[in-house]
Amino acid sequence: RKEVEQDPGPFNVPEGATVAFNCTYSNSASQSFFWYRQDCRKEPKLLMSVYSSGNEDGRFTAQLNRASQYISLLIRDSKLSDSATYLCVVNIYSGNTPLVFGKGTRLSVIA
């Protein structure tokens, strides 16, 4: 099983749609979880951290299911500007070890 797995997409959705991405991770002891966004030919940037209780930032909601070892990202009322690749990122191992990045899910929001 890969350490962090994501559906590569692409997800093509119309403006205003709701879209959800899932990500699974291999190590049940993982402690830190994030979603990063990467625009075409740009560097990744932190979108939001994922907390055990779930968290929301405007149109974006992130949830963590430790029992099933998956993380989700929900985008409501999609905008053209949401078109990007979304990377699931996990601190797979304990201690100060590097984060592990998923390969990303590509989203295209269409007018």
Partner 1 sequence: NAGVTQTPKFRVLKTGQSMTLLCAQDMNHEYMYWYRQDPGMGLRLIHYSVGEGTTAKGEVPDGYNVSRLKKQNFLLGLESAAPSQTSVYFCASTRRDSGSEQYFGPGTRLTVT
Q: Which residue has the tokens 């405007």?
A: 58
Identify which range of 16-24, 60-68, 73-81, 101-109 contacts partner 1 by CB under 8 A. 101-109
Q: Which two tokens stand for residue 44?
A: 């990744």
Q: According to CB under 8 A, which one of 18, 32, 52, 65 is a site residue for partner 1?
A: 32
Regarding 99 and contact with partner 1 (CB under 8 A), the answer is yes
Return the SS3 of 86: strand
Among 53, 68, 96, 111, binds partner 1 (CB under 8 A): 96
- Specify the DSSP class assigned to residue 23: E
Site for partner 1 (CB under 8 A): which residue of 84, 104, 107, 109?
Answer: 104
In the numeric block, which tokens belong to residue 77?
């009322």
Task: Check binding of 30 to partner 1 (CB under 8 A).
Answer: no
- Cβ count near 98 (within 10 Å): 8
Total site size for partner 1, rule CB under 8 A: 22
> Which residue has 């974006």 as its token pair?
60
